Structure 1
Amino acid sequence: MSDNPAWPNGELRLDLPVFLARFGLEARGAAQPLPGGEDNINARVATDRGDVVVREYVRSDPAKAGAELALVAHLAGGGFPTPAPFTADNGEPFALVAGKPIAVFPFASGEVPPAMTPDLAEQSGALLARMHTATAGWADARILVTDRIGVLETAASSDVALHGADKWRKEVRDFLDGNAEALALLGEQPAGPLHHDLHRQNLLVEDGRVTAVLDFDELNRGPLILDLARVLQYASLEQPDRRLPAAIAEAALAGYQRVRPLSATELALLPVAFDLAGIVDAAGFIMWAAPHLGVEHVEECHSRLGFLANRDALRHHP
């Protein structure tokens, strides 16, 4: 980590003229840090072909980054609003520097929207469905398949020592036991690549319209409706009471279905997918992040509080 506060995730340390030349670009200025991105270092750089974003993958190995970038290039090539990576002199969409994959993208214009509104939720749902439709049949063994049930089984028997952990473990076990049939059925639904991180801070907007979907770093493969459930989970966590607004849920679902209509089974399973998204997110934080962040009580986990606030929420409106 850098002690430079302008670089929250560490400083991009490259010989920019040499590095960018590998992508056929001529540097015309110094790297300017970009905020956001928990697992990457991002900087904006002026070049002879316009401004670009240089992105260093801090935690992704070359295989994982390669899978992400190949999918992003495919989406962009089909007209999906996301910047396509430049190709390096090795024929790959990234170059390795000290073992770290680093990619270069055209700079995308727009601003991060200040709040998730019904209109933005409808656009997000439609964009997610466009991604799922555009990647139907996409096969790439490098894409992670997340065993969400396995994560919860691990959580239910974990030795986490936070205050309230016994209560939390019981919540996890009750969820697994009470939804066993639905969770098994969820695993049989149409699956494919998931963005898994589609919240407003990964969107750019101009004049009320989404101009770019960013940050596919959580790319994994799973039931498609889990991606829609994650949109709803993020929207709920932004509310003061962490309750999912009905208008947001209805708009996101309407936008999605306009592009990719859900089957009756997928619609029936969306509530449990929404609950699953929240409880898995909470389990990951409590088991793997909390011990390193000075967290002392499970009540400090926002995604757990969101799960508790929203259990069965989608069952009470269409």
Structure 2
Amino acid sequence: MAVFTEVSDKAAKALLKRVPLGDFVSLRGIEGGIENTNYFLTTSQGEYVLTLFERLRADQLPFYLYLMKHLAKAGVPVPEPQADGRTGDILLQVEGKPAAIVGKLPGKSQLAPQAAHCQSLGEVLAKMHQAGVDYPRQQPNLRGLPWWNETVPVVLPYLDTATAELLRSELAYQNHVAQSSAYTALPRGPVHADLFRDNAMFEGETLTGIFDFYFAGVDTWLFDIAVVINDWCIDLATGAIDKPRADALLAAYQAVRPLQACERELLNAMLRAGALRFWISRLWDFYLPREASLLKPHDPTHFERVLRERLATPYQLV
């Protein structure tokens, strides 16, 4: 979340004439994140999040927006996109950019999660995967292996020799894994692919919802699990897995959907894949940044540490 495109109060008021959510009260830019323009939009009916999409094309966006609508109807706690009152469209346009409005979830992000928070998240993650099985739209994870192969050569010139060798070596390993029969057998469907601590809301230990589905795509459910573990279940300073939190998350997930043998076999490979994916994207954003108000690129060395930890200390699944 950041502000690449400035939205005026006038434009927001004009939008609310099309999307019947009450009278305009205020509009405030959201700091954080690096992909889209985000505002808190307050109206006489409540609080919403207005997102303008800066990189995603209009033809790509229905996958994300209708996935959120599909999951919400299935009882998964996600914000439901709001529709134009005249056309019924949930893909809107603001300041010449494709846009969407979703409800603001109650609660706050849990940036220092404990085992109970991870347990709650694991249960909802499994239910989300199951609810997506009959979602009819198809779109690949746009930040998956093909994007890694395309982007690594772009960032390699900025790295020292040892760091560049680690990046090349891990990318080669992930290409090898992707050709294996175990990987081909992994169950898959729509995944969030970016479910970090700041993309979920809690009231106490109760998860009130997950949001920011704009990296979602069809991928292996195991990759989604790995991304979550690599953020929710680690010591941030070192990148090491906090086993009680990881065990709690996986136990809750498996109480809803037990992992298959191929998933258990490749869990550590996918933990490495999850670390690699975000290391690459952070290198890209750090060395090739875009201009935006409130934009703060993330430190790429964090996920380098996470990857080194996954290589040094594989997780032992209970």
Query: When the two structures are superposed, what TM-score results if normalisation uses the length of structure 1?
Result: 0.85
Deviation for aligned residue 1:99: 3.5
1:87 to 61, 79, 83: 83
Residues 175-184 or 66-75, more deviating: 175-184
Deviation for aligned residue 1:196: 0.8
Runs of 4+ in 1 over 6 A off after TM superposition: none
Q: What is residue 4 of structure 1 aligned with on the other side?
A: none
Residues 125-134 or 22-31, more deviating: 22-31
Closer, same or farther: CA 112–261 of 1 in aligned 2, 3 Å: same
Identify which of structures 1 and 2 has the higher relative contact order when contacts are C-alpha pairs closer than 8 Å and 6+ apart: 2
Q: What is residue 294 of structure 2 aligned with on the other side?
A: none
Deviation for aligned residue 1:44: 2.7
Aligned pairs for 1:104-183 within 5 A: 104-141=101-138, 143-146=139-142, 148-154=144-150, 160-165=156-161, 167-173=163-169, 176-177=172-173, 180=176
Q: What is residue 304 of structure 1 aligned with on the other side?
A: 304
Give the count of matched residue pairs.
306
Look up the SS of the partner of 1:311 in the other structure.
helix
Q: What is residue 221 of structure 1 aligned with on the other side?
A: 218
**Rounded Cα–Cα distance in structure 2 between residues aligned with 1:251 and 1:279:** 24
Q: What is residue 229 of structure 2 aligned with on the other side?
A: 232
Closer, same or farther: CA 277–45 of 1 in aligned 2, 3 Å: closer
Residues 228-237 or 45-54, more deviating: 45-54
Q: What is residue 313 of structure 1 aligned with on the other side?
A: 313
**Deviation by residue 1:266-317 (Cα, 9 ceiling, x = unmatched):** 112111111111123223333x3342259xxxx9622112100222634445
**Rounded Cα–Cα distance in structure 2 between residues aligned with 1:147 and 1:107:** 26
Closer, same or farther: CA 272–309 of 1 in aligned 2, 3 Å: same
Deviation for aligned residue 1:153: 4.4
**Rounded Cα–Cα distance in structure 2 between residues aligned with 1:175 and 1:52:** 39
Amino acid at match of 1:114: L
Closer, same or farther: CA 276–244 of 1 in aligned 2, 3 Å: same
Deviation for aligned residue 1:133: 0.3
**Rounded Cα–Cα distance in structure 2 between residues aligned with 1:28 and 1:156:** 44
Closer, same or farther: CA 236–259 of 1 in aligned 2, 3 Å: closer
Q: What is residue 38 of structure 1 aligned with on the other side?
A: 34
- Structure 1: gaps (5+ residues): 1-6
Two-structure CA RMSD over aligned residues (Å): 2.8
Q: What is residue 18 of structure 1 aligned with on the other side?
A: 14
Residues 170-179 or 83-92, more deviating: 170-179
**Rounded Cα–Cα distance in structure 2 between residues aligned with 1:35 and 1:147:** 23
**Deviation by residue 1:200-255 (Cα, 9 ceiling, x = unmatched):** 11111113211111110111211111000000112356521111111121111111
Residue pair 1:111, 1:205 contacting (<8 A) in 2 also: yes
Identity %: 22
Q: What is residue 265 of structure 2 aligned with on the other side?
A: 268
- Structure 2: gaps (5+ residues): 291-298
Residue pair 1:194, 1:224 contacting (<8 A) in 2 also: yes
Residue pair 1:126, 1:252 contacting (<8 A) in 2 also: yes
Look up the SS of the partner of 2:59 in the other structure.
helix
Look up the SS of the partner of 1:197 in the other structure.
coil
Closer, same or farther: CA 35–178 of 1 in aligned 2, 3 Å: closer
Deviation for aligned residue 1:179: 8.0
**Rounded Cα–Cα distance in structure 2 between residues aligned with 1:57 and 1:311:** 35
Closer, same or farther: CA 174–134 of 1 in aligned 2, 3 Å: closer
1:53 to 42, 46, 49: 49
